[in-house]
Amino acid sequence: MIAVENQAPVSENAIPKDASDGFVVPESNAFGQSFRDYEATVRLSIVENTYRLNHINQTYDFVKRTREEYAKLNKAEMSIWEAIELLDSFVDESDPDLEEPQIQHLLQSAEAIRKDYPNEEWMHLTALIHDLGKVLYHSKFGSLPQWAVVGDTHPVGCAFDESIVYHKVFLKTLVNYYFKENPDYNNPAYNTKLGVYSEGCGLENVLLSWGHDDYMYMVAKANGTTLPSAALFTIRYHSFYPLHTEGAYQYLMNEEDRENLKWVQTFNKYDLYSKSSVHIDVEKVKPYYESLIKKYFPEKLRW
Ligand SMILES: O[C@H]1[C@H](O)[C@@H](O)[C@H](O)[C@@H](O)[C@H]1O
Ligand SMILES: [Fe+2]
Ligand SMILES: [Fe+2]
């Protein structure tokens, strides 16, 4: 067990129970397509447009300013469940696999991980809140455009890696690079492999494109959650596919990041493959999740 002051312990051997009623990874998504197929998804035009704007507008400067603004946590005061309910009609425009309101995705991923890890309640709660930062789109939180809320994340302040979604876009015989329209692309301070960073500097010191991950991490931490650091790391980096799935940018990690990375990778299965059009009855599962929220969070949080 790893126990950190004020944080719930994490058992190193959070082993999935091997039972026949565990979570089964489906062969295809709700549209009958393979998961994360950005070239074939039925949502192609909306998804690609979100990433086009994301790649053009997420500059080092934008991320720095926006992060500072949201770190003030002066936008709202509400409970975790109130925030969850704000997502009951929000549909993520970056997602090639899902067109359901985000409240469903939160519950679907939490219920999926709960099937395999019935005794790790911190994992259930982590899944439940991992995308809660998407409230950034809401008028109470400044109505940020989707390109600044959803989608995979990548470092800013150094060169954009080829493994980033829509790094290259094919237009018949032409190849297009949306990043070329990002002012950082031609800035020598930001367009080298290391840019403003140094080898092994630790992800804590790296700015990622701004969105729901980092925001929810800040909210959870500043409001004194007792969730373990593995949970906070998972929330903060679950959209960093270039690192956790593609293996890019590894040179920015330190020892602690490498330790924590395995938790994001474990979590990813339930985040991605639980996406389905089968609705979960919110009222039915609410009492269980409310009891978890009570254990790990204050009644009201500053957002
Ligand atoms: O489209 C999805 C969605 O926005 C998720 O919330 C994010 O975590 C993923 O990385 C992204 O691919
Ligand atoms: Fe997410
Ligand atoms: Fe998610």
| Whole-complex ipTM | 0.99
What pTM was computed for the model?
0.95
Answer yes or no: is the C-beta of 150 below 6 A from any ligand 1 atom: yes
Q: Are 302 and 218 in contact (CB under 8 A)?
A: no
Mean pLDDT for the chain overall: 95
Residue 4: is its pLDDT beyond 70?
no
* Token pair listed for 283: 């009222």
Following CA atoms 267, 81, 136, 54 in sequence, which dihedral angle do they give, to the nearest 10 degrees? 20
Give, as residue ranges, everything with CB less than 5 Å from ion ligand 2: 131, 239
**Cα–Cα distance, 213 to 264 (Å, whole number):** 12
Answer yes or no: is the C-beta of 232 below 6 A from any ligand 1 atom: no
What is residue 92's predicted lDDT score, i.e. its pLDDT?
98
What is residue 12's predicted lDDT score, i.e. its pLDDT?
54
Q: Which is the closest atom of ligand 1 to the Cα of 240? A: 10
Q: For the chain, what percent of residues have pLDDT higher than 90?
A: 92
Q: Strands of 107-260 (E only): list them.
A: 169-171, 174-176
What is residue 18's predicted lDDT score, i.e. its pLDDT?
62
Answer yes or no: is the C-beta of 238 below 6 A from any ligand 1 atom: yes
Q: Are 261 and 247 in contact (CB under 8 A)?
A: no
Report, as an integer, the average pLDDT of 110-129. 98
Residue with tokens 């944080």, as numbered in its chain: 7
Please write the tens of the pLDDT for every residue from 197-241. 999 999 999 999 999 999 999 999 999 999 999 999 999 999 999
**Cα–Cα distance, 180 to 62 (Å, whole number):** 16
What is residue 3's predicted lDDT score, i.e. its pLDDT?
46
- CA 112 to centroid of ligand 2, rounded, Å: 16
Residue with tokens 């126990």, as numbered in its chain: 3
35: left (phi over 0), alpha (psi -120 to 50) or beta: beta
Query: What is residue 169's three-state secondary structure?
Result: strand
Q: For the chain, what percent of residues have pLDDT higher than 70?
A: 94
Query: What is residue 283's three-state secondary structure?
Result: helix
| pLDDT tier at 17, thresholds 50, 70, 90 | low
What is the number of other CB atoms lying within 10 angstroms of the CB of residue 289? 24
Mutate to test the pocket of ligand 1, among 150, 209, 216, 243 (most ligand atoms within 8 A of CB): 150
Residue with tokens 């995308």, as numbered in its chain: 131
Q: Is 239 annotated as a binding residue?
A: yes
Q: Are strands 169-171 and 301-302 parallel, antiparallel or unpaired?
A: unpaired
Q: Is 204 exposed, middle or buried (0-12, 13-18, 19+ CB in 10 A)?
A: exposed
Mutate to test the pocket of ligand 1, among 92, 105, 106, 144 (most ligand atoms within 8 A of CB): 92
Q: Are 235 and 216 in contact (CB under 8 A)?
A: yes
Residue with tokens 């924590």, as numbered in its chain: 260
Report, as an integer, the average pLDDT of 105-115. 98
Residue 1: is its pLDDT beyond 50?
no
Please write the tens of the pLDDT for every residue from 34-58. 999 999 999 999 999 999 999 999 9
- CA 25 to centroid of ligand 2, rounded, Å: 19
Q: Is 152 annotated as a binding residue?
A: yes
